[in-house]
Amino acid sequence: MAQQQIKLKMEDISIEFPGVKALSNATFELETGQIHALIGANGAGKSTLMKVLSGAHDHYTGQIYMNHEVVEIRTPRDAKKLGIDIVQQEVDSALIPYFDVAENIMLDSVVNNSKGKAWVNWSRLHEDARKILERLGTKIDTKKKVSELTLAQKQMVLIARALVDEPRFLILDEPTAPLSQKETSELFRIVKELAAKHLVGIIFISHRLPELFEICDEITVMRNGEVVSREKIDQITPKQVVEQMLGRSMEEAEWKQPASIGKQIFETKQLTQKDHLVKQINMTVHSGEIVGIAGLVGAGKTELCKTIFGVLPIQSGQMLLHGNTLDIHSPADGVAEGLALVPEERRKEGILIDEEVYSNLSAANLSKFCRFGFLKQGNEREAARKMITDLDIKTPSENQKVGLLSGGNQQKVAIGKWLMTDAELFLFDEPTKGVDVGAKSDIFHLISRLAKMGKGIIYATSELAEILAVSDRIYVMYDGMIVKELVTKETNEEEILYYSTGGN
Amino acid sequence: MQEEIKQRSNLFATSVDYVNRWGIVIAIILLIGVFTALMPQFLSTSNLVSILQSISIVTVIAIGLTFSLSTDGFDLSVGSTATLASSLVVSMFVWYSMPTAVSIVAALVITLLIAAINAFLIVKVKIPDLFATLSTMFIFEGVAMTYTGGGSISEGMPRLDGTPTNGKLSETFTSMGQAPTIIIIMVVVVILAHVILTYTKYGRYFYAIGGNQEAARYSGIPVNKYRTIAYFLSTLLAAIGGLLLAAKVGSAQINSGAGYLMPAVAAAFIGSSFRGLGKPNAIGTFVGAILVGVLENGLVMLSVPYYSLNIIKGAVLAIALASTYYKKS
């Protein structure tokens, strides 16, 4: 396929939303056949910049050029006509669950190319969809309903959809966030092939630095709505990138203050979930100890947390807290027994986005601010203000709706609500997901502070570097079971990965 | 120059905000103004009392709906609930010559069966609230009709098997349906609901569940319990509405509660935007009911035929729903 080389340039792009200047004079360049990394902390403007490029905003100022000719992109249709396509971060919102794979892949083309045609040619639809999937080198049955697919497969369907029109530029917004290591490397193979063989220019947005360095040719760093640097990937180090993202040099500070590990407070015996999502779990947590749960996506980490907390029903086995058998059938029971869960799906499960900061913070222990069922709102707000200062939650006041805060600050609220309770065992499920570097270190500090207070902590994550930095001891999960127990000081990423992938 | 534009746009923004917050109150004042201009007797004390009296039943039922709405639920069966409660209470008096307290308690307790079924279908079987209560709406409309033999019950009517009766509605009971008692009952219900929703943890739980059920569950709130409680409150208040209806009319009429569903829904939705709260609330519901009542009363006085009133009431409901949902998109 001898396609002509195209140079894309966005120049002096600025855009304002009520009260916020989201982009100011951002300039971005890309050529076909390149893989270009776009990185920045939350709120740095990378998604906004890409929305401009894909036609989602029409009120920006600045120019976009293709091969030095000005092009006008104001609607998604404009962008598509110019060969620019985007794969959104939230795959589920872009897919129709009860349509099959082929229908979803061909959705745009059916909608846009059906003028004057009333009938759907099913065999052609499936044939076309199959060809695109073949081009991606993935085997997904085109007749399968999308609701039956794994996250990674859904993502493939979305990428396949974007490829229907043979785009020259493809934006991937945090495509690896929900993927396991194996799925990620599969995605990388496809992305590399698209760039090299089909000369597609790829913009790759991600928070994970190592993978950007693995597959990208160039990197653009954004901060506060501005582009702060653009470099060839081999001219810059990950540390420099982090510094540019933060705007200050990051000390590789030893944030973890060693807590003294006390006696055992929590134990599970042969804990098995009803649908066998987790099986025969034997684990212990000591006071002041941070116990990491490692494993790939789908290994059962989230399910383990949910089973302990009472979200998922238990089939057999026992849980003991301070030697007492726990009888937990719902999260309400879990909370009453002194458990706390900071769930992975923050906006869905962790916070009430339409409610104020103060009522989010008190939600888990409202009785503390009640007398005979009546709220003592003065006490409630005062406690909220104290928590806001204590956790350094960036909010104009305790009356702000939590949905308006940044991801990191939302997470602080989700954690803060448990600090209002007398919880003994804290479960963190991917607490740094979608959180920028600054808030991330705040969250680490907070967790280590909890450990110092003598709480027991279970920390589930698929980020290996993170688990090594945070935990004292690690259980590695594979296929719903704990396959290995490791002492953090004596292990490394390779060993964890070895057991995570089923080695033994 | 730019400053001036900014100031002017700020002024515009604040006035839009103001209208959003106080739109219902402004609408009520405007309506009263227009009706008074057309008919000076509109503003007479007797007419104002008659408006308050006529909205009492709607308000009580709408407060019940406010509870189910606060948990993001909905209860279409409130009209049938009111019908059943009114049939039961009148039959207790007329057919079985029961004393007042027994009649009232029996009617309320039996009617709460609807709440149990609604809660079972919605919370346990997980049928979407709208569909579950649509079916119970029909079921209990039928139950009430079957119970009364497809007719109305009034004093002196024999039982279905032909047994003659001589029971009467007690005076205590019928006085509940007249001003000022009915108005006092309404005000007490509104105040109690306001206190529960705003100043107790139960209200906070309802709103938390309504805002995000999953997040509320993960916070350790027993979601199913509180959703069940909300449906019981909804049914209980609809049943009280039915009792007031029977007391006011002095008999049980066929499907008499059905007409209260629509204005009650309208009142609760109109009330959501009151003071810019953006969520169902007791005072707002009361104000919403006043708006609906003023409109209806004024139009009736202007001799708009009763059969055309639904056009206007339906349109008001559409506007109320628009004010709730338009901003969300």
Task: Specify the CATH number for the domain of residue B249.
Answer: 1.10.3470
Q: Which residue of A has its CA nearest to B196?
A: A374
CB A426, CB A287: distance < 8 Å: no
How many beta-carbon contacts under 8 Å exist across A and B? 73
Looking at residue A153, its pLDDT comes to 85
Looking at residue B4, its pLDDT comes to 60
Distance CA A434, CA A432 (A): 6
Looking at residue B310, its pLDDT comes to 85
How long, in residues, is chain B?
A: 329
Beta carbons within 8 Å of A87's beta carbon, 6+ residues apart: A155, A158, A159, A162, A170, A171, A172, A173, A175
Domains of chain A: 7-246 (3.40.50.300), 259-338+423-504 (3.40.50.300), 353-421 (no CATH)
Copy the structure tokens of residue A349: 């499960």
Contact (CB<8Å) B220/A336: yes
Question: From the candidates A311, A352, A417, which should be mutated to test the interface with B, based on the most B CB atoms within 10 A?
Answer: A352
Q: What is the mean pLDDT of chain B?
A: 90
Q: Which residue of A has its CA nearest to B221?
A: A332
β partners of residue A342: A428
Phi, psi of A452 (to 5 degrees): -60, -30
Contact (CB<8Å) A366/B205: yes
Phi, psi of A60 (to 5 degrees): -90, 165
What is this model's ipTM?
0.75
Looking at residue A281, its pLDDT comes to 95
Contacts of B220 in chain A (CB under 8 A): 331-332, 334-336, 364
Nearest Cα of chain A lies from the Cα of B4 at a distance, in angstroms, of 18
Copy the structure tokens of residue A279: 């099986």
Contacts of B215 in chain A (CB under 8 A): 348-352, 363
Domains held by chain B: number: 1
Distance CA B84, CA B256 (A): 9
Q: What is the 3-state secondary structure (H, E, C) of A266-291?
A: EEEEEEEECCCCCCCEEEEEECCCEE
Contacts of A353 in chain B (CB under 8 A): 211-212
Spans in chain B with pLDDT lower than 70: 1-13, 16-17, 20, 327-329
Q: How far is CA A282 from CA A279, A493, B270, in A?
A: 9, 23, 55
The DSSP 8-state label assigned to residue B43 in this structure reads: G
In a domain, residue B119? The reply is yes
Question: From the candidates B192, B197, B219, B225, which should be mutated to test the interface with A, based on the most A CB atoms within 10 A?
Answer: B219
Alpha-helix runs per DSSP H in B166-305: 171-176, 181-199, 201-211, 213-218, 223-249, 261-272, 282-301
Scan for tokens 């959703």, then name that residue. Answer: B227
What pTM was estimated for this model as a whole?
0.75
Contacts of A362 in chain B (CB under 8 A): 204
Query: What integer is the mean pLDDT of A109-123?
Result: 75
Q: Which of A315, A1, A71, A48 is nearest to A205 (CA)?
A: A48
Nearest Cα of chain A lies from the Cα of B214 at a distance, in angstroms, of 5
Looking at residue B3, its pLDDT comes to 57
Beta carbons within 8 Å of B7's beta carbon, 6+ residues apart: none
Phi, psi of A23 (to 5 degrees): -135, 135
CB A324, CB B216: distance < 8 Å: no
Contacts of A311 in chain B (CB under 8 A): 217-218
Contact (CB<8Å) B220/A331: yes
Copy the structure tokens of residue B148: 């009364």
pLDDT digits (tens, 9 = 90+) for A140-188: 888 888 888 887 788 889 888 888 888 899 999 888 877 777 778 888 8
Distance CA A1, CA A422 (A): 64
Name residue A46's amino acid.
Answer: K
Looking at residue A252, its pLDDT comes to 41
- Nearest-by-Cβ selection for B220 from A332, A374, A375: A332
- Nearest-by-Cβ selection for A350 from B199, B205, B218: B218
* Burial of residue B125 (number of CB atoms within 10 Å: 0-12, 13-18, 19+): exposed
Instruction: For the sheet with A169-173, list strands across it.
Output: A84-87, A169-173, A201-205, A35-40, A218-223, A226-232
Instruction: Identify the contact set of chain A against chain B, taking CB-CB distances under 8 A.
Output: 309, 311, 330-332, 334-336, 341, 343, 345, 348-355, 359, 362-364, 366-367, 369-370, 373-375, 377, 417
Contact (CB<8Å) B218/A343: yes
β partners of residue A218: A36, A232
In a domain, residue B11? The reply is no
Alpha-helix runs per DSSP H in B39-77: 45-70
Distance CA A86, CA A79 (A): 9
Nearest Cα of chain A lies from the Cα of B223 at a distance, in angstroms, of 9
Distance CA B291, CA B166 (A): 41
> Percentage of chain A with pLDDT > 70?
94
Distance CA B214, CA B223 (A): 9
The DSSP 8-state label assigned to residue A233 in this structure reads: G
- Would strands A314-321 and A324-325 be described as parallel, antiparallel, or unpaired? antiparallel
Helix axes B201-211, B45-70, angle to 10 degrees: 70
Distance from the first to the final alpha carbon of chain B: 34
Contact (CB<8Å) B220/A335: yes
CB B145, CB B255: distance < 8 Å: yes
- Nearest-by-Cβ selection for A351 from B201, B215, B222: B215
Query: What integer is the mean pLDDT of A469-492?
Result: 91
Residue A327 three-state SS: coil
Handedness of CA B98, B103, B107, B108 (dihedral sign): negative
Indicate if the pLDDT at residue A493 is higher than 90.
no
Instruction: Identify the contact set of chain B against chain A, taking CB-CB distances under 8 A.
Output: 199-202, 204-205, 207-208, 211-212, 214-222
Residue B258 three-state SS: helix
Beta carbons within 8 Å of B92's beta carbon, 6+ residues apart: B98, B102, B103, B106, B107
Nearest Cα of chain A lies from the Cα of B195 at a distance, in angstroms, of 9
- Residue B315: give the domain boundaries: 39-325
Phi, psi of A173 (to 5 degrees): -90, 105
CB A203, CB A172: distance < 8 Å: yes
Nearest Cα of chain B lies from the Cα of A199 at a distance, in angstroms, of 39
- Pick from A208-222, A266-280, B68-82: least confident: A208-222
Give residue A254's pLDDT band: very low, low, confident or very high (50, 70, 90): very low
In a domain, residue B12? The reply is no
Side-chain half-sphere CA neighbours of A265 within 13 A: 21
Q: Which of B226, B232, B231 is nearest to B206 (CA)?
A: B226
* Torsion angle defined by CA atoms of residues B188, B192, B193 and B198, in that order, rounded to the nearest 10 degrees: 140
- Nearest-by-Cβ selection for B201 from A336, A354, A373: A373
Name residue A207's amino acid.
Answer: H
Question: From the candidates A309, A339, A375, which should be mutated to test the interface with B, based on the most B CB atoms within 10 A?
Answer: A375
In a domain, residue B309? The reply is yes
Nearest Cα of chain A lies from the Cα of B47 at a distance, in angstroms, of 38
In a domain, residue B30? The reply is no
Helix axes B45-70, B282-301, angle to 10 degrees: 140
Contacts of B226 in chain A (CB under 8 A): none
The DSSP 8-state label assigned to residue B124 in this structure reads: I
pLDDT digits (tens, 9 = 90+) for B140-161: 999 999 999 988 898 888 888 8
Distance CA A21, CA A13 (A): 11
Distance CA A376, CA A379 (A): 6
Name residue A3's amino acid.
Answer: Q
Looking at residue A208, its pLDDT comes to 74
Distance CA A11, CA A28 (A): 7
pLDDT digits (tens, 9 = 90+) for A89-105: 777 778 888 888 998 89
Distance from the first to the final alpha carbon of chain A: 45
How long, in residues, is chain A?
A: 504
Nearest Cα of chain A lies from the Cα of B264 at a distance, in angstroms, of 25
Contacts of B222 in chain A (CB under 8 A): 330, 332
